[in-house]
Amino acid sequence: MKRIAVLTSGGDAPGMNAAIRAVVRKAIAEGMEVFGINRGYAGMVEGDIFQFDTQGVTNIINRGGTFLQSARYPEFATLEGQLKGIEQLKNKGIEGVVVIGGDGSYHGAMRLTEHGFPAVGLPGTIDNDIVGTDYTIGFDTAVTTAADALDKIRDTAYSHGRTFVVEVMGRNAGDIALWSGIATGADQIIVPEEDFTFKDVVAKVKDGYENKGKKRHIIVLAEGVMKAEEFAAKMKEAGDTSDLRTIDLGHIVRGGTPSVRDRVLASWMGAHAVELLKEGRGGLAIGIHNESLVESPILGTAEEGALFSLDGDKIIVNNPHKARLDFADLARDLTY
């Protein structure tokens, strides 16, 4: 392959720029031409595509977000959209594409694979909920940002003897809540992967103040459970009498200078994606597993180790992500 392109899609994540830089630099080092696609699949279909030079990715390794921009683009779910996108790429002589993003991006990459166009997927999302990888690009930064906010909230919670319910992103995954909660000594961590009762939550708050000498109580709540305000209202219904406040960290957690680990992971994966395309290999998603890079077929059966199967038009996720519940136990062991 001599000519490839790169796009980012879905929610932005810190480290996406480092991944783009790696794709561009590695491709040029390998003697390939490399193009950027603006605004994800929308830009692909509209032909919003430009050629990179090496200087085009200078000074972006440490910038948050994605300078190629991202966009939601439901039209790419249609066959017509997909074929139009492939046509735009072929018009420019582009033979393969690196897709950086989360679920939606991977679904797009699956459609490209279905139509025989070589695509390589990189897991770019803060949520750490992508199949085929231990960690996603952006996760380490997101937990760092969340933990930084939790360290700050702890100051003010202690100063006033307050209880805080702090909602963190993560879609249906509890990973951000678990890691940031353990790292900041949160008193309780509530994730979608585990059952809980408000009676127990409230009892633990009460026990902390009355019997354990605690002067504050921090509850980290994964957004996949419910909104912080609803959670707090239900705590009150269940009898909580503490000075209770809520905060939703929201989009703060998506931004910011990527962490070293995310920059290294993004650089490593981005360079590897180019190696695969150079060898003419597409239809693969790159992951990190046990400290090594691995590739999974994007489309196929569970037995083949593929990420997705198709049942007619329905997409089946072969091995859905599961958060580490041993970390939930660890968190409980270390609060008193």
Interacting stretch for a copy of itself, rule CB under 8 A, among 90-98, 108-116, 192-200, 264-272? 264-272
Answer yes or no: 127 catalytic: yes
217 binds a copy of itself (CB under 8 A): no
Q: Which stretch binds a copy of itself (CB under 8 A): 78-86, 107-115, 244-252, 300-308?
A: 244-252
Q: Which stretch binds a copy of itself (CB under 8 A): 104-112, 117-125, 139-147, 193-201?
A: 139-147
Q: Are 146 and 168 in contact (CB under 8 A)?
A: yes
Q: How far, in Å, CA of 219 to CA of 228, rounded?
A: 10
Is the separation of the CB atoms in 240 and 247 below 8 Å?
Answer: no
25 annotated as a binding-site residue = yes
**Contact positions with a copy of itself (CB under 8 A) in 291-320:** 291
When binding is defined by CB under 8 A, the residue of 46, 134, 194, 230 that contacts a copy of itself is 134
| Phi, psi of 315, deg, nearest 5 | -90, 125
DSSP 8-state symbol, 77? G
Q: Taking the complex as a whole, how short is the minimal distance between the CB of residue 270 and a copy of itself, in angstroms? A: 8
- Of the pair 105, 113, the CB lying nearest a copy of itself is at 105
**Cross-strand pairs, 310:** 315
Q: Which amino acid is at 157?
A: A
Whether residue 223 is annotated as binding a ligand: the answer is yes
Dmax over CA atoms of the chain, in Å, equals 71
Q: Which of 12, 127, 140, 262 is catalytic?
A: 127
Cα–Cα distance, 204 to 234 (Å, whole number): 15
Task: Based on the shown chain and the rule CB under 8 A, indicate whether residue 56 belongs to the binding site for a copy of itself.
Answer: no
Considering only 31, 213, 311, 314, the residue that binds a copy of itself (CB under 8 A) is 213
Nearest residue to 63 (alpha-carbon basis) of 35, 31, 6, 21: 21
What are the C-alpha distances in Å from 43 to residues 22, 54, 134?
21, 22, 30
Q: How far is the CB of 79 from a copy of itself (least distance, A)?
A: 26
For tokens 């400290």, name the residue.
291
Of 81-89, 112-120, 138-146, 299-307, the segment contacting a copy of itself by CB under 8 A is 138-146
| Shortest spacing between CB 185 and a copy of itself, in angstroms | 5
Distance (Å, whole) CA 336 – CA 333: 8
In 3D space, the residue among 252, 245, 191 whose CA is nearest the CA of residue 218 turns out to be 245
Binding mask 9-48 for a copy of itself (x = CB under 8 A): --xx-x-x----xx--xx-xx---------x---------
Q: Which amino acid is at 171?
A: R
The string of DSSP codes covering 84-147 is HHHHHHHHTT--EEEEEESHHHHHHHHHHHHTT--EEEEEB-TT---TT-SS-BTHHHHHHHHH
Q: Per-residue contact track with a copy of itself, 180 to 209, x per CB under 8 A?
A: x-xxxx------------------------
Give the DSSP H or E segment for 246: strand 244-248
Place of tokens 């979608």: 192
Identify which range of 64-72, 234-242, 299-307, 310-318 contacts a copy of itself by CB under 8 A: 64-72
- Listing DSSP states for 306-328 in one string gives -SEEEETTEEEESS-----HHHH
Site for a copy of itself in 68-87 (CB under 8 A): 69-71
Q: Which member of 84, 92, 154, 204 binds a copy of itself (CB under 8 A)? A: 154
Q: Which of 55, 116, 312, 313 binds a copy of itself (CB under 8 A)?
A: 55
Answer yes or no: is 126 a known binding residue: yes
List the one residue from 66, 82, 105, 318 that touches a copy of itself (CB under 8 A).
Answer: 66
> What are the catalytic residues?
127
Q: Residue positions in the annotated binding site?
A: 11, 21-25, 72-73, 102-105, 125-127, 154, 162, 169-171, 185-187, 214-216, 223, 245, 251-254
Q: Residue positions in the annotated binding site for Mg(2+)?
A: 103
